Amino acid sequence: METIYINRDNLADWQGKADACVIALGFFDGLHYGHREVIKTALRKAQEKGVQLSVMSFFPHPKSVLSNGEKQIDYLMPLSGKEKILRGLGVDTFYIVEFTREFAALSPEQYVNDYLVNLGVIHAVAGFDFTYGSRGIGNLDRLQGDSGGSIEVTKVEKVACRGEKISSTSIRERLAAGNVEELPDFLGCFYEIAGMWDGQSFKLNPYYTLPAPGKYAVTINIRNLSKRTEVIVEENSLKPVSELPLYLFGELSIVWHKRISEDASSSRPILKVGGLTL
Q: How far apart are CA 244 and CA 49, in angstroms?
A: 53
pLDDT of residue 265: 63
Query: Same domain for 210 and 144?
Result: no
pLDDT category of residue 248 using cuts at 50, 70 and 90: confident
Query: Same domain for 64 and 149?
Result: yes
* Per-residue model confidence as pLDDT tens digits over 204-227: 899 999 999 999 999 999 888 888
Quick one: average pLDDT of 148-162? 96
Distances (CA, A) of 89 to 6, 50, 253: 22, 17, 22
Pairwise pLDDT comparison (277 vs 171), residue with the higher score:
171
Quick one: average pLDDT of 188-202? 87
Q: Is the predicted pLDDT of residue 85 greater than 80, yes or no?
A: yes
**192 in Cβ contact with 256 (< 8 Å):** yes
Query: Same domain for 184 and 131?
Result: no
Pairwise pLDDT comparison (248 vs 90), residue with the higher score:
90
DSSP helix/strand/coil, 114: helix
CATH of the domain at 32: 3.40.50.620
Query: Same domain for 93 and 205?
Result: no
Query: Same domain for 143 and 8?
Result: yes
Q: Is the predicted pLDDT of residue 256 greater than 80, yes or no?
A: yes
Assess if residue 195 is contained within a domain. yes
Domain region containing 206: 178-261
* Per-residue model confidence as pLDDT tens digits over 106-120: 999 999 999 999 999
Query: Same domain for 132 and 195?
Result: no
pTM (2 decimals)?
0.88
pLDDT of residue 223: 85
**238 in Cβ contact with 272 (< 8 Å):** no
Q: How far apart are CA 68 and CA 105, in angstroms?
A: 14
Quick one: average pLDDT of 144-160? 97
- Strand 21-25 to 121-127 pairing: parallel
Number of domains in the chain: 2
Assess if residue 170 is contained within a domain. no
Query: Same domain for 25 and 144?
Result: yes
